[in-house]
Amino acid sequence: MACVPLLSVANFADAYSLLRKYRDDLFYYVYFFTVADNSDLTQYVDVQQLNEDEMNIWDWVHNRQKDLRIGSVLKCIASHPSAPENPLPIPYVRDDED
């Protein structure tokens, strides 16, 4: 039985699409918990009383979401109290190194 190199059968376009899907799902997962932490999604409220983020979750649950921009998702996540003030990674420098 001949060994087939992995790169000859791998489809990078499919792998990249799957990676983007997982990234989008991860952002939505964090977004969902950020919205849920700011409000009680289990409490009954009138749909007109929902804010924009809660409405996005409601539309997603009811399969009615049409246009959700990543900018609004990232703003919501960044506004959470547990989000760091400087979200960019800062290189770690130990004090004992010159």
The alpha carbon of 63 is separated from its chain's Cα centroid by a whole number of angstroms, namely 18
The C-alpha angle 80, 86, 88, rounded to 5 degrees, equals: 110
8-19 residue pLDDT tens: 566 778 888 888
18-41 residue pLDDT tens: 888 898 888 889 999 899 887 776
Tell me the C-alpha distance between 98 and 81, whole Å.
Answer: 35
- How far is the CA of 25 from the CAs of 45, 58, 80, in angstroms? 26, 16, 19
